[in-house]
Amino acid sequence: MIRVRNDNTDAKYNISLEERIFEEYYSDEEFFMLWRNDKSVIVGSNQIIENEVDLEYAKQNGITVVQRKTGGGAVYHDLGNVNYTYISKKVSEFGNFAAFAQPIIGFLRSHGLDAQHIGKNDIGIGGKKISGSAQRIRDGYILHHGTLMYDVDIETLEKVLTPDPAKLSSKGIKSIRSRVCNISEYLPIGRNQFWEEICKYFQATRGIL
């Protein structure tokens, strides 16, 4: 497995880097990258940015807005969030989010957390979402990437994301805050230490799916 620790935190650069790696990847080896973005909103490929993001609030607060090439919903990133990217030839696993979640769940459980795969493409603790993921395929390769909320600024997340209230209510969710939580609530070690711990864990393990 090729393992990469990417310490660049520029969202536009990181999204472009991930896309370029995926488009140009032809190795038989699996690829795994850990990375973080500074304050940003990453919007799904099928979404209309103006419908999902308070652009004025984003501008006033230095929040970068980027559209990715995978589906799913808009997500807020800051340095309290860790992103991970898998690239492999396991296209037969497309849509099997639970399989790709196992190495991340393994890391969380190694720190005593009762992490579980929940819903279609999320990881949760205590029934609340701490990670979401998305996928795409290209020429026999699959990209699976996701988030991992350690101590994301939930207040900013709620202000900058503007999902249709009807979508939330249709799922029985009153608000974004009621659905998500930070890992720091269960593992208070500090965001930089969490970043170092996850990098160390995946450097020491192969994370085979």
Question: What CATH number is attached to the domain comprising 63?
Answer: 3.30.930.10
* 78-122 residue pLDDT tens: 999 999 999 999 999 999 999 999 999 999 999 999 999 999 999
Establish if 79 belongs to a structural domain.
yes
Establish if 178 belongs to a structural domain.
yes
> What 3-state class would DSSP assign to 55?
helix
pLDDT tens per residue, range 156-177: 999 999 986 545 444 444 446 6
SS3 164: coil
Determine, yes or no, domain membership for 209.
Answer: no
Mean pLDDT in residue range 63-76: 96
Q: How many CA within 13 A on the CB side of residue 74?
A: 27
Whole-model pTM? 0.90
Average pLDDT over residues 173-192: 82
In this structure, what token pair is assigned to residue 25? 């990847």
33 found inside a domain: yes
Give the range of the structural domain holding residue 84, as residue numbers without chain letter: 2-204
Q: What is the pLDDT of residue 173?
A: 42
What is the total count of domains within the chain?
A: 1
Confidence of residue 1 (pLDDT cuts 50, 70, 90): confident
CA 174 to chain centre: 22
In sequence order, what E strands does the chain have?
2-6, 31-35, 40-43, 64-67, 75-77, 81-88, 115-118, 122-125, 128-138, 141-149
